[in-house]
Structure 1
Amino acid sequence: MDQAAAGMQGAHRAPVCYRHPDRETGVRCTRCERPICPECMVSASVGFQCPACVRGGSDTGPAPAASRPRTIAGGTVTADPRLLTKVLIGVNLAVFLAQLAVGSSLTDRFELIGQAQFSLFSPVQGVAEGQYYRLLTAMFLHSPTNYTHILFNMLSLWWIGGPLEAALGRARYLALYFVSGLAGSALTYMVADPRLPSLGASGAIFGLFGATGVLMRRLNYDLRPLVALLVINLIITFTPGFNISWEAHIGGLVAGVAVGYAMVHAPRERRTVIQYGACAVVLAVVVVLTLVRTAQLT
C-alpha cells in the first residue's frame, strides 16, 4: 500500500523545467512541449517557446539578434538573471554600513521626513521644504539600531526579487522596484504624521510581492504560499508596537500589482508602450500626491 501511495503521489507531482529541474512549472513550450519555467519562457505569437526552439533546435551557443530569447514580459534573457537583485542588496547593505559608521547625521539627512523638524542642535528640513529626494533615498536606509529590519528586508528581496527579475528582465524589474518604492514613500508622505521619520526598502519589496502574485496567477501557479506570506507580513504591519509604516507597505503593494499586471498581461504588439506607460501613470500619481501634500503643509 505504501509503495502504491508513493507511486500515485509521484504521478501527480507538477512537471519540472527541463533546463532547471529544481523548478516546478505548469507551462510547456508550444513547439517541443517540454515544460519550461518563467526564466526559460520566450514569448511567441501563440504561447511560449523554450530557448532551444527559438535558437532553431540548439540549446547552446548565442542566439541571433532577431530571435534572442525573451522573458514572459518581453525582457532579454541574461546569463545571470539575479544580477540586479544582488546589486540592490549590495547597495542596501553598503548604505547600512555607512549609517553605522557615520552615525545619525546620515540617516537624518536622507530619511523620509514630511515637514521640517527644528531643534537647538540639529534642525532638519523635510519634503515640504523642497527636499523631494528623500522620497527616493529613504528606500535605501534602514534603522541602524534594529538589525532585524534590514535582515528581513534583504531576505525578502532575495527570495522574491530574484525569481521576479528572471521572469521580467532587468529593465522592467528595476522600473517596478523604483516605482513601487516611490509609491510607498508618496503615500507615507501624504497620510502619515509629517513629523515622524520613515525609512526602509519595504515599500519596494511589497511592490515585488504584488507583482509576483500577478505573475503566479498568470502562470496558473498555486498562490496559497505567497498569500500566506503576504498575510503574515500585513498582520505584522498593522500590529501595534512594531512601529511599521503601513502606508509604505500598502502604497508599494498597490503600485506593484498595477505595474505587474501591465508587465505580464500587455499584448505583445504594444507591450513596451503599455508596460512603461503604466510605470509613468504610477509616477504621475506619485507626483500629484507629493504636490498636494506639500501644498497642505506649506
Structure 2
Amino acid sequence: MEELPGGPERQSGAGGLPHCYRHPGVETGISCVRCERPICPQCMISASVGFQCPECVRGGAASGPGAGGGTGSTPAAASRPRTVAGGAVTADPRLLTKILIGINVLVFIMQVANNNSFDSSYELVGQAQTTPFGPLVGVAQGQWYRLFTAMFMHANYPHIGFNMLSLWWIGGPLEAALGRARYIALYVLSGLAGSALTYLIASPTEASLGASGAIFGLLGATGVLMKRMNYDMRPLLGLLVVNVIFTFTGGIAWQAHLGGFVAGIVIAIGMVHAPRERRTLLQFGTCALVLVAIVGMVLARTAMLT
C-alpha cells in the first residue's frame, strides 16, 4: 500500500538505513530530491539533479507545460518516468526476469523428459567429435547457435535451482533499475561473452552449459549500479567471494563466469554513467563494442580450430 504524499517516511531498518516508502521491506540510502522520501532502485527516477519518486514525477508532469490539454512545447514523452539508466518505468518491473526463469525451467523440463539426449545438439562444444549419441558438430564447424542455446540449459537440479534463485534475487532489482530493453541486452550479451570466452580458451572437446555467464554479468552490473548509488558494497562482495569459491572448487567452467562478469561490468558502466544528453547513443554503443569483442573471440578461435 502506497503512502500518500506528505512527510517523508524515515523508519530505519536493522542496517540503520531508512526503508523505501513504497517498499517497506527494502532499505535504501537514496531520497527523492523533491519530497525527501526514501526510494529504492525500483522507485527512483532519474532527474536533472538526483532522483525523484514516481508521485513527484507525475505531479511535475501534470503541472508542467502542456498539462491539461495546453499547448506547451515539451512532448508528453519527455515527462514519462524513467529509471536510473533512462529506461521506461513499467507496472511489472520483474517481467523479463520471470520470462527468463520460465524459459530456463521449460528447457530443463525438456532435457529431463528426453533423458538429456538432445543436450549434445545445443550445449556449447567447440570442435566436432564423436559422442555416445553419434557424431557431434561444434561451433568451429559453423554451429554458432550453440553459444546462445547453451545459456538456457542446465546439467542437473542443483545447477538450475541455484542459477534460477540467483537470477530472481539479482535480476529483478536490476531489471527495475535499468528498464527492460537495457536489462535484456545486458543479460544476452553477458551470456554470449561467457560462452565466447569459454570457446576461446577452454578445451574444444569440453562441453559446457548453463546460465551462469549471464548471471555473473548481472552480478557485475549490480556492483556498478551499487557503486553509482553509493550503496554499501560489502554484501555484494561477500556474495561474489562465495561464488568465486564455488567456481574454482566445483568443477565449473570458470571461463563463462569471468567472461560474463567482465561484460556485465563494461555494459553497466556505459548504461549508468552515460551523460543524459548522449545516453542512448553511449549505452547501445557500449553494447555494440561488447558484441564486436564477442564476435572477435569466436572468429579467432574458429581460425585456430579449422
Do Structure 1 and Structure 2 share a fold, with TM-score over 0.5?
yes
- Which of 276, 285, 300 is the equivalent residue of 1:292? 300
- Unmatched runs of 5 consecutive residues or more in structure 1: 1-8
- Say whether 1:169 aligns with 2:185: no
- Which of 154, 161, 177 is the equivalent residue of 1:151? 161
Distance 1:157 1:66, change over 3 A: same
Tell me if the contact between 1:52 and 1:58 (Cα under 8 Å) persists in the aligned partners. no
Distance 1:44 1:250, change over 3 A: same
- The match for 1:52 is 55
Distance 1:12 1:285, change over 3 A: closer
Q: Distance in 1 between matches of 2:101 and 2:215?
A: 11
Distance 1:160 1:121, change over 3 A: closer
Question: For 1:244, what is the secondary structure of its paired residue?
Answer: coil
Distance 1:119 1:106, change over 3 A: closer
Residues 102-141 of structure 1 mapped to structure 2, 5 A cutoff: 102-119=114-131, 122-141=134-153
Opposite residue 263 of structure 1, the aligned amino acid is M
Q: Distance in 1 between matches of 2:293 and 2:203?
A: 20
Residues 195-234 of structure 1 mapped to structure 2, 5 A cutoff: 195-234=205-244
Q: Distance in 1 between matches of 2:45 and 2:108?
A: 38
Question: For 1:37, what is the secondary structure of its paired residue?
Answer: coil
- The match for 2:39 is 36
- The match for 2:110 is 98
Question: For 2:285, what is the secondary structure of its paired residue?
Answer: helix
The more displaced of 206-215 and 19-28 is 19-28
Q: Distance in 2 between matches of 1:134 and 1:231?
A: 29
Opposite residue 18 of structure 2, the aligned amino acid is P
Question: For 1:118, what is the secondary structure of its paired residue?
Answer: strand
Question: For 2:166, what is the secondary structure of its paired residue?
Answer: helix
How many angstroms does 1:66 deviate by?
3.2
Opposite residue 292 of structure 2, the aligned amino acid is A
Superimposed CA distance per residue, residues 146-189 of structure 1 (whole angstroms, 9 cap, x where no aligned partner): 21000000000000001100111111000000000000000000
Q: Distance in 2 between matches of 1:57 and 1:172?
A: 26
TM-score, length-scaled by structure 2: 0.89
Q: Distance in 2 between matches of 1:231 and 1:106?
A: 34
How many angstroms does 1:58 deviate by?
9.5
Runs of 4+ displaced beyond 6 Å: 9-12
Opposite residue 265 of structure 2, the aligned amino acid is V
Question: For 2:159, what is the secondary structure of its paired residue?
Answer: helix
Question: For 2:187, what is the secondary structure of its paired residue?
Answer: helix
CA RMSD of aligned residues (A): 1.8
- The match for 2:281 is 273
Q: Distance in 2 between matches of 1:24 and 1:268?
A: 27
Q: Distance in 1 between matches of 2:151 and 2:85?
A: 25
Distance 1:246 1:120, change over 3 A: closer
Superimposed CA distance per residue, residues 88-110 of structure 1 (whole angstroms, 9 cap, x where no aligned partner): 00000000000111233321100
- The match for 1:4 is none
- The match for 1:26 is 29
Q: Distance in 2 between matches of 1:81 and 1:11?
A: 26
Distance 1:283 1:57, change over 3 A: closer
- Say whether 1:248 aligns with 2:256: yes
Opposite residue 101 of structure 2, the aligned amino acid is I
Q: Percent identity between the aligned chains?
A: 68
- The match for 1:88 is 100
Question: For 1:54, what is the secondary structure of its paired residue?
Answer: helix
Superimposed CA distance per residue, residues 34-73 of structure 1 (whole angstroms, 9 cap, x where no aligned partner): 21111111111111111111111699xxxx5431111101
Opposite residue 274 of structure 1, the aligned amino acid is L
Q: Distance in 1 between matches of 2:170 and 2:18?
A: 22
